[in-house]
Amino acid sequence: MDSYVKLNHICKNFNHVKALNDASIEAFKGEVLAIVGDNGAGKSTLIKILSGVLRPDSGEIRIGEKSYSSLSVSEALNAGVSTVYQDLALANTLNVTTNIFIGQEITKHGILQKDEMDRQARKLLDDLDVDIPDTAEIAGNLSGGQRQGIAVARLVNRGGNILIFDEPTAAMGVVEASRTLKLIRSLADKGMVVIIICHNLTQVFDTADRVAVMRHGKVLVEKPASESSMHEVVALLTSADKILGDE
């Protein structure tokens, strides 16, 4: 099976710092790909390049049949790439519906169709099994899991088929994290490409189909989660693989 998303030999420098050094990665429809790595490994830079936030110095981005040397945010959105950032990108002072529809508002003759947006927001949340009783609630009043649900609903509403989650369970309790991962899993099961950046290896191996390990701007390993283990990933992350190999 061909991959739907492929980043080939991506390099990105910030002045003298090599954030990405010939990094390559691929993702398939219907699977959850987890990217793991220590701070500064290049995970977020790679994701930002796929999301159009950053432009690579060199390399190729392939989405479906199309190839790009770089993407802008709007090009990435049009190509179906949607990202939930660690800060969730929500407006805490505005309500649930506004947050879901931002940039995708339904209008008629330039006037917002608030009732229709509320109705669709309700349906989206119900379909995703996100427990938010009232779409008129202010986002800042909701729990971390509910806020994650809003961010996911926005992605799904946007119609993207490549969904990226940067630390989706950060600062969440056990129950909320479990619900969020279940939600992410269900998106992949619907045939979408799902990429998550996650530090919690237990959650990674519970949710992901494949694991990519990054260190020093390179993708060291990319393989099915069933063929890897937490022990192997930790060894790769901490350079213990080399030490073990030398022995």
Partner 1 sequence: MMAKLKKSGQSYTVVLLLVMLAMIVVMSFVSPYFLTLENFKNVLNQSSIYLFLVVGMAYVIAAGEIDLSVGAIIGFEGMVMSNLYYAGVPAGVCLITGIISSVIIGAFNGWLVAKFRINSFIVTLCTMTVMRGIVLLVMNSRTRYGFGPVFAFLGSGQIGIINMPILMAIIAVIIADLIMRKTRYGVYTLFMGSNEVALSRAGVNTRRHKISIFAFSGLLAGLAGIVVMGRLNSAEPLAGTGYEMDAIAAVILGGTVLEGGKGSISGPFIACIILNIIKDGLTLLGVSTHYQEIITGVIIIISVLVSGRDMRRKSEV
Q: Which is nearer to partner 1, 98 or 203 (CB)?
A: 98
64 backbone dihedrals φ, ψ, rounded to 5°: 60, -125
Q: Which is nearer to partner 1, 112 or 221 (CB)?
A: 112
Cα separation, 113 vs 211, whole angstroms: 42
Answer left, alpha or beta for residue 221, where phi above 0 means left and psi between -120 and 50 means alpha: beta
CB of 118 to partner 1, least distance (A): 12
Q: Report which of 5, 13, 9, 8 is spatially closest to residue 57, judged by C-alpha positions.
A: 13
243: enclosing H helix or E strand: helix 240-246
Q: Which is nearer to partner 1, 104 or 238 (CB)?
A: 104
CB of 229 to partner 1, least distance (A): 35
CB of 165 to partner 1, least distance (A): 14
User: Can you tell me whether residue 129 is helix, strand or coil?
Assistant: coil
Structure tokens at 21: 């050094």
CB of 87 to partner 1, least distance (A): 8
CB of 156 to partner 1, least distance (A): 14
Cα separation, 204 vs 211, whole angstroms: 8
Cα separation, 131 vs 15, whole angstroms: 45
Which residues would be at the binding site for partner 1 (CB under 8 A)? 51, 53, 73-74, 77, 83, 85, 87, 89-95, 98, 102-105, 107, 110-112, 134, 136-138, 140
Q: Which is nearer to partner 1, 90 or 163 (CB)?
A: 90
How far from the centroid of its chain's Cα atoms is residue 38's Cα? Answer: 17
27: enclosing H helix or E strand: strand 17-27
CB of 245 to partner 1, least distance (A): 41
Q: Which is nearer to partner 1, 94 or 243 (CB)?
A: 94
* DSSP class per residue in 75-113: HHHHTTEEEE-TTTT--TTSBHHHHHHTT---EETTEE-
Q: Which is nearer to partner 1, 82 or 200 (CB)?
A: 82
Q: Which is nearer to partner 1, 16 or 109 (CB)?
A: 109
CB of 68 to partner 1, least distance (A): 17
Number of neighbouring beta carbons within 10 Å of residue 126: 12
